């Protein structure tokens, strides 16, 4: 239902849409004075509409579930949910980010989910001093920008890329690999890492337009077939990947399509057809959802009437980290950011503590491979060694 609503509003940004404001809605000063550490907001910033909205909605719903559970325990709407729809687009993100930082009740942000929008919006969050925890933006360079408020809850592409390359070499044992990407900050960055790790096994490479900007991939399909490659690694998102898989299959190519976490969504199978999607491999710096536990998965299904999706569990953890910090009295963005530097938090998806640059501690990163099955969904295949 939530996803239906998100699409129904099309390209209109949801700026400052608040959930659950009727139950309590106390003002900041009175709550702070009472010592209850209530009256503040946590924000989701990311795609609720647009071609990659499925991944954004997964994350938002995990985030909102955590805040709702916190408020239920408090018996009031202690912390409000604020949603800012970037559409996952780097050109839209700065304007939405400026709207977010204008709201002085926002103490922390779960997001942005994508690397391109992160590059565009995070400088604004850094200047405002509002801490962020991204559940999924993996471009390695994001942690080298000097943003003191940046925190990444998963491994970056320097772990995911080599893991994908290792899977291609050790599991698929592909001798000839074609690499393509959508020229996005995420897709190009990940593809570059995979190419560097595969070396001479890469027989050719190509570029596509981003999701929603291209539907005919016949030129790429012809290049892949002509190259003799038995594996195609695509750096990009699920809609493009599904169309590429569909057109590869129609052209008779029987190799394996692989990609990163941006392709880990049922939207790929919807674009390609379930039969064509079978066997497509995606890597993800995330664990299989069943490892998040029955309590979380049951609560998520009860709340949203769908199963938890990619990164829903990580977003749930990110929100709970913020909530723990607020409960402890860190009720300014600066205090909450300082608190994050001390965190050693065991969540349902992972344990979290960060380096001074905001990267997840290297001992805590994990990368899994998943495969699409005939149902159009992904199933866990194996954890891939990252070192």
Residue 279: per-residue pLDDT: 98
Residues 201, 262: one domain?
Answer: yes
- Angle among Cα 53, 57, 58 to the nearest 5 degrees reads 120
- Helix, coil or strand: residue 67: helix
At residue 387, does pLDDT exceed 70?
no
Reported as a single tens digit per residue, the pLDDT across 232-258 is 999 999 999 999 999 999 999 999 999
Residue 32 lies in a domain: no
Q: CATH no. for residue 195?
A: 3.40.50.2300
Residues 248, 378: one domain?
Answer: yes
Task: Report yes or no: 124 and 97 within 8 Å, Cβ to Cβ.
Answer: yes
At residue 14, does pLDDT exceed 70?
no
Its domain, for residue 261, covers: 158-284+368-384
Task: Report how many domains make up the chain.
Answer: 2
Residues 56, 193: one domain?
Answer: no
Residues 96, 107: one domain?
Answer: yes
- What is the pTM assigned to this prediction? 0.84
**Mean pLDDT confidence for 172-199:** 96
**Mean pLDDT confidence for 359-371:** 96
Residue 33 lies in a domain: no
Residue 99 lies in a domain: yes
Residues 239, 297: one domain?
Answer: no
**Mean pLDDT confidence for 195-212:** 95
At residue 127, does pLDDT exceed 80?
yes
Residues 240, 373: one domain?
Answer: yes
Reported as a single tens digit per residue, the pLDDT across 140-158 is 999 999 999 999 999 998 8
Residues 206, 242: one domain?
Answer: yes
**Which of the four pLDDT bands, split at 50, 70 and 90, describes residue 20?**
very low
Ordered alpha helix ranges (H), 26-106: 28-34, 53-74, 93-101
**Which of the four pLDDT bands, split at 50, 70 and 90, describes residue 10?**
very low
Residue 36: per-residue pLDDT: 78
Cis, peptide link before residue 112, omega less than 30° from 0 = yes
At residue 83, does pLDDT exceed 60?
yes
Residue 96: per-residue pLDDT: 98
Residues 189, 137: one domain?
Answer: no
Residue 367: phi, psi to the nearest 5? -135, 130
At residue 6, does pLDDT exceed 70?
no
Residues 190, 146: one domain?
Answer: no
Closest alpha carbon to 385 in 140, 165, 175, 154: 165
Reported as a single tens digit per residue, the pLDDT across 291-329 is 999 999 999 999 999 999 999 999 999 999 999 999 999
Residues 59, 81: one domain?
Answer: yes
Reported as a single tens digit per residue, the pLDDT across 205-229 is 999 998 888 999 999 999 999 999 9
Residue 188 lies in a domain: yes
**Mean pLDDT confidence for 61-79:** 97
Residues 251, 373: one domain?
Answer: yes
Residues 96, 70: one domain?
Answer: yes
**Mean pLDDT confidence for 8-18:** 36
Mean pLDDT over each residue of the chain, to the nearest integer: 91
Residue 134, beta-bridge partner list: 152
Residue 215: per-residue pLDDT: 96
């Amino acid at each position: 239902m939530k996803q239906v609503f998100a699409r129904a509003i099309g390209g209109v940004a949801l700026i400052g849409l608040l959930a659950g404001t009727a139950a309590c809605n106390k003002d900041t000063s009175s709550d702070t004075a009472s010592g209850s550490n209530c009256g503040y907001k946590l924000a989701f910033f990311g795609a609720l509409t647009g071609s990659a909205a499925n991944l954004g909605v997964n994350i938002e719903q995990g985030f909102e579930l955590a805040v709702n559970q916190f408020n239920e325990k408090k018996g009031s709407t202690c912390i409000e949910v604020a949603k800012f729809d970037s559409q996952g687009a780097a050109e839209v993100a700065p304007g939405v980010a400026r709207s977010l930082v204008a709201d002085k009740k926002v103490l922390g942000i779960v997001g942005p989910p994508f690397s391109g929008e992160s590059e565009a919006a995070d400088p604004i969050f850094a200047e405002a001093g509002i801490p962020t925890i991204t559940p999924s933006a993996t471009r390695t360079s994001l942690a080298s920008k000097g943003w003191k408020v940046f925190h990444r809850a998963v491994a970056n592409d320097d772990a995911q890329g080599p893991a994908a390359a290792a899977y291609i070499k050790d599991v698929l044992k592909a001798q000839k690999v074609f690499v393509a990407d959508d020229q996005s900050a995420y897709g190009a960055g990940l593809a570059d890492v995979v190419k560097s790790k595969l070396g001479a096994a890469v027989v050719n490479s190509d570029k596509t337009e981003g999701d929603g900007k291209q539907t005919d991939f016949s030129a790429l399909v012809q290049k892949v077939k002509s190259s003799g490659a038995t594996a195609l690694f695509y750096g990009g998102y699920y809609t493009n990947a599904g169309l590429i898989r569909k057109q590869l299959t129609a052209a008779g190519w029987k190799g394996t399509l692989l990609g990163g976490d941006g392709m880990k969504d049922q939207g790929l199978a919807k674009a390609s057809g379930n039969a064509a999607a079978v066997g497509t491999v995606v890597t993800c710096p995330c664990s299989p959802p069943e490892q998040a536990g029955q309590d979380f998965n049951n609560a998520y299904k009860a709340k949203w009437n769908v199963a938890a999706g990619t990164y829903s569990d990580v977003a749930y953890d990110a929100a709970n980290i913020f909530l723990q910090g607020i409960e402890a009295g860190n009720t300014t963005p600066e205090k909450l950011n300082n608190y994050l530097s001390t965190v050693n938090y065991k969540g349902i998806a992972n344990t979290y503590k960060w380096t001074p640059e905001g990267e997840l501690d290297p001992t805590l990163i994990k990368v899994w491979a998943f495969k699409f099955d005939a149902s159009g969904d992904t199933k866990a295949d194996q954890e891939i060694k990252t070192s």
